[in-house]
Every structure is written in C-alpha cells, then in structure tokens.
Amino acid sequence: MVESLAPSPVAQSLLYDFISFYMYEWDAPKAERQLQTLNASRDLLQELLQDVDLSDLLRPEAVDEVRGRLKHPAPGAAARSMEELALLFQNLGDLSTVEIAERCLVDPSGWIGQLAGAQRIVGVTLPTAYGPAPRWIAGEYAAEYGAAFGLATAATPAISVEEARRRILLRFLGQAGPVTREAVLARYAFPVEWLQAELDGLVAGRDLAHGRFTW
C-alpha cells in the first residue's frame, strides 16, 4: 500500500461518483423522505407478506392498542373539551351516546347539548343489521348520511348515493382496525353486493389489506 497526498485518477473518479450520488440525499424535506420510504415499504411489505398469516406475526395487544388510538377510547386519546369532542365527530363520523361517553374524560352530556344546540352535531337514526340505531353525526355530514341511507335531513344531498356510502365506509375503515365485512354491516346496513365490491376494489388498489390479523 502506498500513501499519497492526492488520490490516484482511478480513486478520484470513484470518490467523485460517490460524492455526487450522496451529496443531495438529505436535501429533501424530512417528511417527504419518510413518505417515500413508507411508500416503498408498503409495496415491499405487500410482496413479502402476501402468503403469510399475519395473525402469527402481530401481537393481539399491539393490535388492540392501535385500534384504541384510532377509535379514541384510550385514556390518552379521550376528549378533554367540547372542541376535542367536536373534532372526534370530524374523524369518526357518527357515534352513539354511549360511544361518546367512552371517548371523553368527563360526562359529555353538557357538551352534547351545546354542540346539538349550535347544530354542530345532529341526531339521526341509522339502519343497521340489528335494527335502527340512534347516533350523533357532525352537522356538515348530514347531507352525506341522508344520501347514503335515505334519511330526511335539513341538508340537501349534494352527492350521489354511491359517493356518500363510500365516504362513510372509508371513514369507518380508517379507524376500525382489523374488521370483518359482517362487522361493517352490523354498523351500517349497506347493500351486501355493493359493500363487497367496494372492499374488493380497495384491496386491489392496496388501500386495504385482506387476511387474518388476529385469532
């Protein structure tokens, strides 16, 4: 080995290529780099796990913890004020009075009354597999729920039945965690054929994963 003050032409060429490749690696915003990594990881994960039973890999308590954060019944995610409760309706769509109480640190009766009085939430009765179910929904979603389920609301539906159903379904799936088709139907009386077609389309588009995640 010979030491020199300057690299040889061959080493200098390799060093130049190395520097030019990594020089701008960290120039992209951190959020953008994370998003690119996440997208690549999702595709790779789909390929690696397509024939794997995920129930052998995922711990039930970890699944329950994530589901708790998404649905907001966990103590650290519970509503501490009326405004935080109003935000829950934006994220979750519809809640029963019992479900609201489960997601608040204190008795929410007063908050419900104030939000309803200001028309920020509206009481509706939704069809489910077990019969009519009273729920509260965000006021701006009234037309959406009216179109999806044929409800008489003060708001005039401005979207199609299909689009209204799709929005409600996606909002529910975004916070439900691992869930069965029957569980979706138990909460919303969607037409079975329509629901199956939507779920199949979401799986095909890799927006939804299908499989056994828990025992």
Q: What is the pLDDT of residues 86-107, one digit of tens each?
A: 999 988 889 999 999 988 989 9
Q: In this structure, are residues 61 and 94 in contact, taking their beta carbons and an 8 Å threshold?
A: no
| Helices 161-176 and 192-204, packing angle to 10 deg | 60
Q: What torsion, rounded to 10 degrees, do the Cα atoms 27, 29, 31, 33 define? A: -20
Angle at 103 between CA 166 and CA 182, to 5 degrees: 40
CA-derived radius of gyration, the chain: 25
For the sheet containing 94-95, what is the strand order?
94-95, 131-138, 121-128
- Write the CA distances from 9 to 12, 14, 15, 17, 20, integer angstroms: 5, 9, 10, 12, 16
Lowest mean pLDDT among 18-32, 105-119, 151-165: 18-32
- pLDDT score of 164: 94
Is pTM beyond 0.85? Reply is: no
Cα–Cα distance, 212 to 43 (Å, whole number) = 19
How would you class 92 by CB atoms within 10 Å of its CB: exposed for 0-12, middle for 13-18, buried for 19 or more?
buried
Residue 210 — pLDDT band, cuts 50, 70, 90?
confident
